[in-house]
């Protein structure tokens, strides 16, 4: 067995590479997510963000390198064990069956059903619903909900999946573009709800396209470009106008928000000739 070259506590990608259809999607990439922090993955389309998230979820295997969960190689971690320590909210999740909201959230407890009494699973469902403010919807038909309500129910499902009576147990929540279909108000409220999970030893890794939301909510950023980490650190360190303009091929300005001093990104209209996409 290979010896890791770095501290593998937390959820860690160590020098991972991934190839798809002969194209190198990720190339020698490192990432660390510790319990209790919110980390955002940002970068242009095709930079490798979702692929890196899937490697850390154990859904894909790297061509090179390793992924670790608190010192355990994901390749040798049983899927049921992994499911109780990390949960994934994918980009496109369709639940078209007329299930009650409580039943949708209960799907998250599937990995636990043979390990804890039914009363514990029920408590997990109720507390996850309360955490994202859908406890009044538990008897509603999921398919009759609005888009924002459905997203909150799905968030409750993945929170229920990693809910543990021992709140000191490190757990990890992986979100792939959780705000993609939401307006700014719903997106902001969803990320507020996600941050409320952090004190309970939950680390959150989210793929976000909205740089201002990433700046406002993330403790740290990883900016990917063409399969590599172009910059990482606090939003004020990563979100520099020169860097963003080069990587996104955009015309952006960056200023500090008046109340929080978080970097805020503004699109600059030049009025010149636009290059076709």
Low-confidence ranges of the chain (pLDDT < 50): 1
pLDDT at 269: 79
| Residue 229 neighbours by CB under 8 Å, 6+ apart | 29, 30, 31, 222, 223
Q: What is the pLDDT of residue 172?
A: 96
Query: Which of 153, 157, 165, 155 has the alpha carbon at shortest distance from 201?
Result: 165
Please give the domain boundaries of the chain with CATH numbers for all domains.
Answer: 11-267 (3.40.50.300)
- Across 159-262, the runs of DSSP E, i.e. the strands, are 171-176, 202-207, 220-225, 228-233, 252-256
**What pLDDT sits at residue 1?**
47
pLDDT of 144 reads 93
Question: How far apart (Å, rounded) are the C-alpha atoms in residues 33 and 56?
Answer: 10
The Cα–Cα gap between 112 and 101 comes to: 19
Is this model's pTM higher than 0.85 or not? yes
Q: Is 229 helix (H, G, I), strand (E, B) or coil?
A: strand
CB 177 within 8 A of CB 154: no
């Amino acid at each position: 067995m290979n010896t890791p070259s770095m501290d593998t506590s937390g959820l860690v990608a160590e020098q991972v590479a991934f190839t798809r259809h002969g194209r190198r999607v990720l190339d020698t990439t490192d990432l660390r997510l510790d319990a209790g922090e919110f980390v955002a993955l940002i970068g242009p389309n095709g930079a490798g963000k979702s692929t890196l998230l899937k490697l850390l979820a154990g859904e894909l295997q790297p061509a090179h390198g390793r992924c670790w969960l608190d010192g355990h190689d994901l390749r040798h971690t049983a899927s049921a064990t992994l499911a109780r320590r990390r949960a994934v909210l994918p980009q496109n999740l369709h639940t078209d069956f007329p299930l009650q909201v409580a039943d949708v959230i209960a799907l998250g407890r599937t990995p636990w059903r043979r390990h804890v009494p039914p009363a514990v699973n029920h408590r997990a469902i109720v507390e996850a619903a309360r955490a994202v403010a859908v406890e009044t919807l538990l008897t509603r038909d999921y398919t009759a909900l609005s888009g924002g309500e459905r997203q909150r129910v799905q968030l409750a499902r993945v929170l229920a999946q990693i809910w543990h009576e021992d709140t000191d147990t490190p757990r990890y929540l992986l979100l792939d573009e959780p705000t993609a279909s939401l307006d700014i108000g719903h997106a902001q409220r969803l990320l507020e709800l996600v941050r409320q999970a952090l004190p309970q030893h939950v680390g959150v890794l989210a793929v976000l396209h909205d740089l201002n939301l990433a700046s406002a909510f993330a403790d740290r950023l990883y900016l990917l470009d063409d399969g590599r980490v172009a910059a990482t650190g606090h939003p004020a360190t990563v979100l520099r106008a020169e860097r963003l303009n080069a990587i996104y091929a955009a015309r952006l300005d960056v200023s500090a928000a008046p109340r929080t001093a978080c970097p805020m990104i503004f699109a600059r209209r030049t009025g010149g000739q636009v290059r076709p996409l």
